Every structure is written in structure tokens, then in C-alpha cells.
Amino acid sequence: MLQEALKEIKRGAAEIIDNERIEKLLKAYFDNKETYTVKVGFDPTAPDLHLGHTVLLQKLAIFQKYGAKIQFLIGDFTAQIGDPTGKSATRKTLSAFQIQENAASYKEQVFKILDPLKTEVVFNSEWINPLGASGMLTLTTTFNVARMLERDDFDKRYKSGTSISISEFIYPLLQGYDSVHLKSDIEIGGTDQKFNLLMGRHLQRAYETGKEQAVLMMPILEGLDGVQKMSKSLNNYIGVADEPNDMFGKVLSISDELMWRYYELLSAKTLSEIEALKNGVADGSLHPKKVKEELALEITARFHSEVLANEAKMEFDRVHSNNQIPTEIEEFSSDGEISITKALVDCNLAPSTSQARRDIKQGAAKINQEKIDNEHLQLRSGEYILQVGKRKFAKLKVS
């Protein structure tokens, strides 16, 4: 029982620091029902969770199954520092109202996976603000610059001559201090967070809290391109809040190779089940597309429902396998005659008139399934189905 729990907890983990401690905590739970805390931190600026985040969340859900109380930390204070990597864009300070709103949005998404009864949502401004200048100073005495520069990304930036702001040095310290305040037993995060996660251990020791948190790191999930990490800014993500059709389509668009990665980190299937699928594909008894569809169904069903997932699959087959028009298309209307280029822009099918013209020239634009060959075409009153490329559709009513 204990062994199984441990196995489940360790599945997919990239690295675990202080394995022993985790084992002890679990043993205490199984023997005496003692609970423990697992901390995870999120930035309040980006409340749109994607599958990359859910790798962590799913892991937390497993912990909850085995006696953990989750400390879901929203870094409202640390967000003010953020990561000013070059760029002129000064970090926007979020208003208290915005933070509350983002937090609410987080909860809504997060509780699709986590058990709210075993989750405590906390904000770090609550204890960092009272620190004051002197508290902050004390914090900075616990660490030195040379060690700070050991951190991989600082090191790279320093060597490559990119600027590093002093405030960025404070960031890991504050994150570590969160663990001091919360007396966390375990903290989990992505492998890119290793330095910050270890800082929690360091500070818990420096502040003589009597414990040092164990650290469990999950691998970073690659985005749809299969190369860079999944992130909103790279636009290679599958959002938790994505529509079923989008979600299904996006999963299906990943490469076969990447599919196995997603299986490992996102699927509820056991490792041996996944191994069986792999063998099936390798010896030709399973078509990779079928295997990918299964994954797409599983993921879509998790965030929506099985019914909606199946509908998404049917819609997908309809549009892509049979080249039909989707059942639901966004509708637009126009008063009076309109030129085709303007129509494409107005319907969000092209970002600019110039682009619209190019699309037409390249034969990418269609009206009612027919290629447009005249870029000066005027649309008179009536209803049109406009299409650019394979996936972008819109319905336009001209009156």
C-alpha cells in the first residue's frame, strides 16, 4: 500500500531531493493518519492554465489522495518583481482587485483537478509585506552573489552579457522565504525551478525552522511544436479552458513522438498500458492516429466530459477527414456591399488587408467552398461562408 503510493507519487518525476523525507511523511500518514503540507507556487498574472500546469496539478492530486494538504500559493508579491528579462516592458503592477479576480479564475480552473477541501489558497504578500526593510535585509544576508550566480539562467545571462536586475536576485529568496513561513514539508515545481525550490530548503535551515522541505520536480511539458516548453506567450499551448473542439484538435496535431511524452505526463493510464500501446504501434498492429485519438479523447473528457469529447471527435472527422464545414461557425454581419479583402479582415480571418490579399493570391481563401480568384470581388447582400486555409471559417451576412 505504502509502496504503491510512493510509486504513484514518483511516476514521471524528473528529480526528487530528499526522497527519505517523502517516504517518512507517507509512512506517518499510513501508520497514524498524520497529514503534511505540499507547497506549489503560481504567478497571479497568467490565470489561463494550460496542460503544462496540469502536470503539476495532477501530481498534487495524487498527493492529496495520500494525506497531503496543498498550499496553493499565489505569488502576488513576487509577481511585482517578475522576470524583467531585457525588454523595455516594465512589469505592470496588478491592482488588488485584479489579483482577486485572477485568483478566483485560478480556483475555478484548479479545482477541476484538485480537491478544494484539502487545498489552502494563500497569497505571499500577506507575510512578505510585514517583513519590512529590515526583514528583507536579514533575508539577503543568508545568501551571497557567487552562489546566486550558480543558478543556470543567471550564469548564462551573466556570461552572455544580458542584464540582470538586483530585484531578480531577491526573487528566489522570497520564494524560499514562503516555505519558511508556510513550514512546507514538500514543495513541487518544474525542473526549471530547481534553484528556487532548493532555496526553500536553504532558508528553512537558515531560519532554524527545524525542517527542510523535500523537493519534487516534474519535467517541463513541451508545447505543440515539440521543442519549446508549453507556454501561452509562445502560443503552443493547450488551455484548460479551451473549447472541446480546439482541445481535441490540438492534441491530434502533435507529432507521434511527442504523443508518448504527453501520455507519460498527462494520461491516467498506467505505465504498462502505455508500454503496450507503444509496442502496438511499433509492430504495426495499432495505427498511431488511433492511439493519438485515444489520448485526445481522454484529455478532452477530463476538462469537459466524455460526451463532449466524443462530439469533438465527430466534428473533427467531419471537418478534416470529410472536408466539410464545421457545424458551428462564428457569424458576422455587414451593412451593405463589402469587398472581399475587407470582409476577411472583419471576420478575423486575416490580420490585415495586405495579408488577406496575399491569402487570396495563394489560393487559400474560399467562399462557399469555392476558391476565390479575384481579389477585387465585391460581396453583395446574401450569406457567405468564408474560409482561409484549412481551419479558419466564418459566416458573413451582408445586408
Burial of residue 17, with CB atoms counted within 10 A of its CB: 0-12 exposed, 13-18 middle, 19 or more buried = middle
Task: Kindly write out the interface string for residues 221-240 of this chain, putting x where it contacts RNA by CB under 7 A and - elsewhere.
Answer: ----x---------------
Q: Is 364 in the site for RNA (CB under 7 A)?
A: yes
| Contacting residue, 362, 369, 381, 399, with RNA by CB under 7 A | 362
Q: Is 162 in the site for RNA (CB under 7 A)?
A: yes
Is residue 379 a contact partner of residue 398, using CB atoms and an 8 Å limit?
Answer: yes
Q: Is 85 in the site for RNA (CB under 7 A)?
A: no
Q: Which stretch binds RNA (CB under 7 A): 59-67, 101-109, 176-184, 337-345?
A: 337-345
CB nearer to RNA: give 26 or 247: 247
Residues in the chain: 399
CB nearer to RNA: give 217 or 343: 343
Lookup result for grid cell 482587485: 97
- Distance CA(248)–CA(252), nearest Å, equals 6
Minimum distance from residue 99 beta carbon to RNA (Å): 27
Amino acid at site 25: L
φ, ψ of residue 209 to 5 degrees: the values are -85, -10
Minimum distance from residue 211 beta carbon to RNA (Å): 37
Which residues is 74 bridged to in the sheet? 42, 123
CB nearer to RNA: give 45 or 255: 255
| Contacting residue, 388, 394, 396, 398, with RNA by CB under 7 A | 388
3-class secondary-structure state, position 288 = helix
Q: Is 82 in the site for RNA (CB under 7 A)?
A: no
Lookup result for grid cell 485519438: 293
| Contacting residue, 65, 92, 156, 289, with RNA by CB under 7 A | 289
Q: Is 341 in the site for RNA (CB under 7 A)?
A: yes
Q: Which pairing describes strands 382-388 and 392-398: parallel, antiparallel, or unpaired? A: antiparallel
Minimum distance from residue 363 beta carbon to RNA (Å): 5
CB nearer to RNA: give 130 or 161: 161
CB nearer to RNA: give 183 or 366: 366
- Distance CA(117)–CA(114), nearest Å, equals 9
Q: Is 397 in the site for RNA (CB under 7 A)?
A: no
Q: C-alpha grid cell for residue 212?
A: 527542510
Minimum distance from residue 286 beta carbon to RNA (Å): 11
Rounded to whole angstroms, what are the CA distances from 145 to 98, 110, 154, 198, 246?
Answer: 34, 36, 11, 16, 46
- Distance CA(17)–CA(213), nearest Å, equals 9
| Contacting residue, 12, 231, 355, 395, with RNA by CB under 7 A | 355
Q: Is 391 in the site for RNA (CB under 7 A)?
A: yes
| Contacting residue, 348, 352, 368, 381, with RNA by CB under 7 A | 352
Q: C-alpha grid cell for residue 87?
A: 525588454
Q: C-alpha grid cell for residue 261?
A: 511524452
Q: Which pairing describes strands 392-398 and 331-334: parallel, antiparallel, or unpaired? A: parallel
* Positions that interact with RNA (CB under 7 A): 86, 88, 158, 161-164, 225, 248-249, 252-256, 288-289, 292, 316, 320-321, 339, 341-342, 345, 351-355, 357-359, 362-364, 376, 388-392
